[in-house]
Structure 1
Amino acid sequence: MSRGLIEAGNAGAAISRRTFLKLGMMLGAAAGGGLLLGFSVRAAGGDARHSVIGGDAVEEPRPGVFAPNAFVQIDRNGQVTLVMPKVEMGQGVYTSIPMLIAEELEVSLSSVTLDHAPPDEKLFFDPLIGGQLTGGSKSIRYAWEPLRRAGATARTLLVAAAAAQWKVDPASCRAEDGEVLHAPSGRRASYGQLADAAAKLPVPNEVALKKPEAFKLIGTRVKRLDSPEKVDGTAQFGLDVRVPGMLYAVIVNCPVFGGTVASFDDTAAKKIQGVRQIVRIHNAVAVVGEHTWAARRGASALVVKWNEGADAKVSMKDIVADLSRAADGKGAVARKEGDVDKAFGSAKTRVDAVYEQPFLAHATMEPVNCTVHVRPDGCEIWVGTQVPTRTADTVQRITGFPREKIAVHNHLLGGGFGRRLETDMIAQAVKVGRQVSAPVKVVWTREEDIQHDMYRPYYYDRISAGLDASGKPVAWRHRIVGSSILARFAPPAFKDGVDPDAVEVAASLPYDLPNQLVDYVRQEPRHVPTAFWRGVGPTRSTFVVESFIDELAAHAKADPVQYRRALLGNTPRARNVLDIAAKAAGWGASLPKGQGHGVSVMHAFGSFFSMVVDVAVDDGEVSVKRIVCAVDCGMAVNPDTIEAQVQGGIIFGITAALYSEITIENGRVTQSNFTDYRMLRINEAPPIDVHIVKSAEAPGGIGEPGTSALAAALSNAIYAATGRRLRKLPVGSQLKTA
């Protein structure tokens, strides 16, 4: 696989300063943009605790620990601990974020240990995403300056402390590998030896960050720090939790969303050896056992009658009909440029299309689970979650316990993709745990996980363009119809009838379009719960926009790459990645019959992507032969992780584009496991060449763009191979039924 770093000639951009809070003291932006870091050293005490990957959070520094901010702790042995503000779900932040601290602090990466941050939005609030949560491909974008500045400030104070002790000019000292050195005299002191003295110094208003040309670690390929534990099995995911006296519960949810338990017969379930208790909550029954197998067998033996409600008759045709009718209504304007009606009136040609995208499940490899111990005086939670503070809020709402009586132990996530931004499974576990006088691990089976997910919304898009005599778009109208996740998840973000996530990309195209109108119609899918799914708005919008741009190129009888290039004059970074991907893929070369190239361009998550997909189509079956992707994500902190994230995102995207859909019949999800919610097999995975553009821009996001850019390039490749334009996902089923 290609690992080329390609010169882009990008000039360094001014990096905005962001604020964050200090543990136990004020931390804010100083005049001139520097940070005020209050340092404190506790009384002499024990050694720093070395964390196990996926272990418990550290609530506050131990005695004798130098805590320059909410993120970094240095003990008197010189041990550096990073209190990790983000969670690891496969994206590599447990390697890339420590690289930022290690670079500026001048310590080796191997010397940094990690602890989960506790639920505390005052300390770990991410202003880019509006809370203490992990998602939106924002982890490195959030950490890029604050964590580097925290390390640089600590380094500056440690150097100043050494210089004061030695009575020398700080400029004659330097930090290196966890020590401060004074070359003229040969003296040196470790960070641990200097921590007390550094805490007593006045904090500088400004500190100098290292220039990119001075980086020793940032920009290098670093192997994942969490890989050994994941390989040898010591890594702790939520599903791995074991606590003394723990019982196990398997959930049986009402098959219709919004339904409730009417009655149940547990006679047979109670006869199964190892079954300890049957617990009823409003929409489910839980069988509690001494082990998972007993609970699973007991769940299978239950006879439950449900109050299914009016939604028990809802099917896909009803949901799609609702969306189609809503598309005839009035939309809330997300973007308006020029005079669209006039431009359509003068256009030589008009092109209209409707695109549809299905409900999608997250189907994480680790099904949702939560271990809970509800005691009379408090509650303890063990879980893998993207939202630790929302988790604590959920527990508080159900139990009524004050926050100080609620302990949340976060763990590694066996896949998140947005599913673990939700706390429905945690709420359910707490409701079960309140009725069990022991710690209980509540586990959803794969079937429950798929059939009671919170799904990527079904989207219905009407899009039109007016072309001039040369085939160039002079008018553009795009109406997006679908559920508003933000109206539920973050109500203040839903303003004037527009969901910013649903219209992302669609309302900020990289193309030069003089007259455009993009609007949004909120239409909730009756009873089906919806949530963020990997790639969020850019995934759905990029499929529509880039597929439609390809349609316009075909109407203009133009090459799809050249057609895009002509519209990207004001977005040179987008045009650059397009050129790189097309060249690397050998665009324009003749291909065998039944084989075709497809291309897409995307600007989202602060990054620029272009993808070329090569497919072969034989008797309705699609084989992806090769994928070439050019990535301009700004400064590449760890190219190895970037490459892996792009590859993983593409595989995730291929699965969804070819096979994935959740369908509703009689109020129920019809899919139940990987037998009918198909995943891409290892033998079907194509070679993926990732070309990372060398850039001095601030980092962009990387976890989701690979998924977001894939579907359009794939469907465009199918068109090139077959001449059939597929406007509905998944394309695999469309090829077979058309």
Structure 2
Amino acid sequence: MKTSRREFLKVSSLAGGGFMLALSVPGMAKLAQSGGEADFTELNHFLSIDLDGNVIFQLTAHEMGQGSGTGLPMILAEELGADWSKVKVNRAGYDKKYIGVIRETTGGSGTIQDHWDLMRRMGATAREMLKSAAANQWEVSVDQLEVEEGWVIEKGTSRKISFGELAETASKLEAPEEVEFKKPADFKIVGQSVRNLITESVVAGDANYGINVDLPNMVYASIEKCPVYKGKLKSFDDTEALKVNGVTQVLAMPALEPAEDMNHIQEGVVVIANSTWAAFKGRKALKIEWNLGENASNDNKKIEEGFAKAGEQFGKPVYTQGNYEKLKVEDGYREIEATYINPHQAHALMEPMNATAHYDGDKCQIWVGAQNASSVVLNVAKAVGIPDDKIEVHTQNSGGSFGRRYYPDTSIEAAYISKQIEQPVKLTWTREDGIQHDYFHPFQESRFSAKLKEGEFSGMQVKLIKSVDYGSGDHLWEHPYPVDHLDTYLNAVDGLVHQGAWRSVQVHSSSMGKECFIDEVAIELGKDPVAMRKELLAKEIETVKFNRPTREGQKPFDEVVKEFRTTLRKNYTSVLNYVEQNQLWEKAKSTGVGRGFAMEDFFADTVCAHIVEVEKGNSDLGIRIKKITSVLDCGIVVNPHFGRGQVEGSIIWALSALKYGGIDIKNGVVQQRNFHNNKLLRIDEVPEIEVHFVPSEEPPTGLGEPATPPLAPAVLNAIFDATGRRIRKLPATREDILA
């Protein structure tokens, strides 16, 4: 693996001695005004080794419970040969220098996979420099040396020297042009269940979560928002609010024009106080008149009507293969149809939404848990009217996110308030704010039909209606199982509420319909659902016709889709082979137990399959989910403990949506307010969960979201197997199952 020093790394001494490895890549050159190489003195070091041998890693990814702050340094320490007990993590501040150079945003299950190669290169480069420093000191060949747990050791002898003793000397050496990566079979840290490096600080209560920020002269704010999406503030009376002990000021919050389309700031009234609780109490004393606007007529029935209308207005198919319409009844084909509803979902985070801001006229500092700090900078700069290079973001840990903290609304609000009152301010949303003013998971209706003849699945037609058209990734809703005749259609309708990313994004929206319908086809044909999937995947992959223009500079989309489907076949087959070899589907078969199977890819990378076992019982659903067995092909699992945790968390997340999800809208107002009517799964409702990872030496492909999409269809398929009832919507209720 070649690594040019001029293209990748800069090495220098730390103040007081030590070793610093700073990141540079060709894209950094654009930062230098002279057009030459970037000024490395301005760069944060990503890896440093001090004279005591401590290895300090600078974390740029957002830590929200998924373990990025441990997984990334594990990869680096593996190649470095570090003593894991001496690995420390510091949080690096946001800096736009790194946009386009490293992955600055945290989302899409991409942190580990996108930094895998980078972490290995950094660790391997530092390792070889430490070996060179030892070789020079001992006057031996580098080939005679190896590293182990923070020491450089001379092979065949007892001579060894610590990283700390070599750090300063190593920092004066040239970075090698080439480095070799370790073979996966030789890994000693990667692949181990290592404890999270932030656990101790979390337990001690001193971890840097956004809600814990405390600044000198700081005040506290809460906003009473218009209850209807995009409604306006008409007037307010703050007389009683100002009488509340601790309340100091009340002001209007305008909508503000966002710098990006999806960021809407709801109008409202801000209460400033000397504590969060005083601000909350002051809100309750406000008297407000709203202009609720046209969205005041929104309700769930309007959603249904909008989707019904869109379902009559499909144009040309986005993809075509073969000719579905030519498969006629008179020629022996029969058709089955089904429609599936995946509603809006709320995030309902444990740590309420919050942000702290300090605008001082020349610059604005923000303390916030953010998945996308660059969006915070862009939008805050516009809100307070100063250049974006005057915005400083101090990224904090988050108590959960699931896509919600990708959006900068609390940062925009806090910055605006700070500018108005000329003081640092901490803004905290209530639980009710977080649920009622969420960026809700988009609503989707999936209509499927299939043509069957003589035991064969001959053709399929897919018609999707979404409340958000993401404008990219159209192949994500193309069916992964090859059939001879295929049409796919898409219509987008206007959403009635604020919408955004929810754990697994559009993949979850489509998975329920895809994986339930393939089960329905298998049952209709009298075939085993798992065996039929494997049978279909063995078919030749045809090129589909893409009926939209190819974007300028991109490969023709029909070629992209064929490559995508080829990758899917490989990864799906890998998971199915593992299920078959370990007899996991057969083991789930027992008297009185219904079995369900579903599988899904996450952007063609990680593939996850769930085998769900349910039995009739006196639970709130009328059935009991007995066990869930999960199989994932996700490349190398850096930390199996975190990996299992991500799968288990995804399952619990998806089960909450299946049992209790969806939102009700009446007169434009979201009716869910807190955990009493936006329930989450309780511990006694969690079934036995067994997680399997397909052995692999391929690079990691992400684990934060892939287990969410196939869970609902696997459960619904199991319910059918147990009861004979097909449920084609979320949430699934007791009435659906027992009616």
TM-score by length of 1: 0.86
DSSP-derived class of the 2:598 partner:
strand
- 1:683 and 2:658 matched: no
1:46/1:165 CA distance change after superposition, 3 Å: closer
Q: Deviations over 1:657-688 (max 9, x none)?
A: 11101121111111111111111111111110
* Partner Cα separation in structure 1 for residue 159 and residue 315 of structure 2: 70
- 1:601 and 2:599 matched: yes
Question: Which of 313, 317, 321 is the equivalent residue of 2:297?
Answer: 313
* Partner Cα separation in structure 1 for residue 19 and residue 282 of structure 2: 45
**Corresponding residue of 2:60:** 85
**Corresponding residue of 1:452:** 437
* Partner Cα separation in structure 2 for residue 700 and residue 123 of structure 1: 22
Q: What are the residue-to-residue correspondences of 1:497-536 with 2, within 5 Å? A: 499-500=472-473, 503=474, 505-507=476-478, 509=480, 511-526=481-496, 528-536=497-505
**Corresponding residue of 1:298:** 282
- 1:267 and 2:251 matched: no
CA contact (8 A) 2:3 2:179 kept: no
CA contact (8 A) 2:664 2:671 kept: yes
Higher RCO by CA contacts (8 Å cutoff, separation 6 or greater): 1
Question: Which of 61, 69, 76 is the equivalent residue of 1:94?
Answer: 69
**Corresponding residue of 1:551:** 520
Question: Which of 449, 457, 461 is the equivalent residue of 1:477?
Answer: 461
Return the letter of the residue paired with 1:318. K
* Partner Cα separation in structure 2 for residue 557 and residue 141 of structure 1: 40
Q: C-alpha displacement at 1:587, in angstroms?
A: 4.6
Q: C-alpha displacement at 1:73, in angstroms?
A: 2.3
Q: Deviations over 1:272-308 (max 9, x none)?
A: 1111111211201111111122111111111111111
1:411/1:182 CA distance change after superposition, 3 Å: same
Q: What are the residue-to-residue correspondences of 1:335-484 with 2, within 5 Å? A: 335-343=319-327, 348-470=333-455, 472-484=456-468
CA contact (8 A) 1:42 1:66 kept: no
DSSP-derived class of the 2:627 partner:
strand
**Corresponding residue of 1:564:** 533
Question: Which of 92, 103, 109 is the equivalent residue of 1:117?
Answer: 92
* Partner Cα separation in structure 1 for residue 43 and residue 160 of structure 2: 21
- Range that drifts further, 454-463 or 316-325: 316-325
* Partner Cα separation in structure 1 for residue 99 and residue 300 of structure 2: 41
Q: Deviations over 1:226-277 (max 9, x none)?
A: 2222223222211111122221111111001101211111111111111111
* Partner Cα separation in structure 1 for residue 526 and residue 654 of structure 2: 29
Return the letter of the residue paired with 1:285. V
Q: Deviations over 1:465-508 (max 9, x none)?
A: 112211x321111122113363xxxxxxx2xxxx42xx564225
Q: Deviations over 1:53-74 (max 9, x none)?
A: xxxxxxxxxxxx9999853223
Q: Deviations over 1:605-632 (max 9, x none)?
A: 4112211112234585342111111122
* Partner Cα separation in structure 2 for residue 462 and residue 117 of structure 1: 47
Q: C-alpha displacement at 1:708, in angstroms?
A: 1.3
CA contact (8 A) 1:599 1:716 kept: yes
- 1:654 and 2:655 matched: yes
DSSP-derived class of the 2:115 partner:
helix
DSSP-derived class of the 2:421 partner:
coil
CA contact (8 A) 2:241 2:286 kept: yes
CA contact (8 A) 1:137 1:701 kept: yes
Q: C-alpha displacement at 1:640, in angstroms?
A: 1.2
Q: Which runs of 4+ in 1 moved over 6 A?
A: 46-49, 65-69
Q: Deviations over 1:416-446 (max 9, x none)?
A: 1000011112111212222223221111101
Question: Which of 118, 121, 142 is the equivalent residue of 1:146?
Answer: 118
Return the letter of the residue paired with 2:465. V
**Corresponding residue of 1:705:** 706
Return the letter of the residue paired with 2:58. V
Return the letter of the residue paired with 2:268. A
* Partner Cα separation in structure 1 for residue 390 and residue 99 of structure 2: 20
Return the letter of the residue paired with 2:655. I
**Corresponding residue of 2:615:** 616
* Partner Cα separation in structure 1 for residue 493 and residue 623 of structure 2: 33
* Partner Cα separation in structure 2 for residue 468 and residue 70 of structure 1: 64
- 1:591 and 2:591 matched: yes
CA contact (8 A) 1:512 1:567 kept: yes
DSSP-derived class of the 1:564 partner:
helix
DSSP-derived class of the 1:137 partner:
coil
Q: What are the residue-to-residue correspondences of 1:2-401 with 2, within 5 Å? A: 36-42=7-13, 44-45=15-16, 71-123=46-98, 125=100, 132-183=104-155, 187-282=159-254, 283-331=267-315, 334-343=318-327, 348-401=333-386
Q: Deviations over 1:64-115 (max 9, x none)?
A: x999985322334433221112111111212211110100011022222112
Return the letter of the residue paired with 1:601. M
* Partner Cα separation in structure 2 for residue 148 and residue 140 of structure 1: 11
- 1:541 and 2:540 matched: no
TM-score by length of 2: 0.86
- Could you tell me which runs of 5 or more consecutive residues in structure 1 were left unpaired when the two chains were aligned: 1-16, 18-28, 50-64, 487-493
Q: C-alpha displacement at 1:636, in angstroms?
A: 1.4
DSSP-derived class of the 2:208 partner:
coil
1:533/1:334 CA distance change after superposition, 3 Å: farther
DSSP-derived class of the 1:397 partner:
helix
Identical amino acids, percent of aligned pairs:
36
* Partner Cα separation in structure 2 for residue 148 and residue 233 of structure 1: 32
1:344/1:654 CA distance change after superposition, 3 Å: farther
- Range that drifts further, 649-658 or 175-184: 175-184
* Partner Cα separation in structure 2 for residue 676 and residue 579 of structure 1: 42
Equivalent pairs counted in the alignment come to 673
DSSP-derived class of the 2:477 partner:
coil
Q: C-alpha displacement at 1:181, in angstroms?
A: 2.6
Q: Deviations over 1:147-185 (max 9, x none)?
A: 111111111122123223333211112222223233467
CA contact (8 A) 1:348 1:467 kept: yes
1:641/1:99 CA distance change after superposition, 3 Å: same
* Partner Cα separation in structure 2 for residue 48 and residue 229 of structure 1: 26
* Partner Cα separation in structure 1 for residue 18 and residue 152 of structure 2: 21
* Partner Cα separation in structure 2 for residue 350 and residue 545 of structure 1: 16
* Partner Cα separation in structure 1 for residue 507 and residue 172 of structure 2: 49
1:301/1:411 CA distance change after superposition, 3 Å: same
CA contact (8 A) 2:479 2:514 kept: no
**Corresponding residue of 1:673:** 674
Return the letter of the residue paired with 1:600. A
1:138/1:43 CA distance change after superposition, 3 Å: closer
Q: C-alpha displacement at 1:591, in angstroms?
A: 2.8
CA contact (8 A) 2:631 2:694 kept: yes
Q: Deviations over 1:310-367 (max 9, x none)?
A: 1111111112211222222235755433333335675622111111111111111111
DSSP-derived class of the 2:609 partner:
strand
1:260/1:122 CA distance change after superposition, 3 Å: same
DSSP-derived class of the 2:235 partner:
strand
1:125/1:591 CA distance change after superposition, 3 Å: farther
DSSP-derived class of the 2:523 partner:
helix
1:121/1:568 CA distance change after superposition, 3 Å: farther
- Range that drifts further, 228-237 or 454-463: 228-237
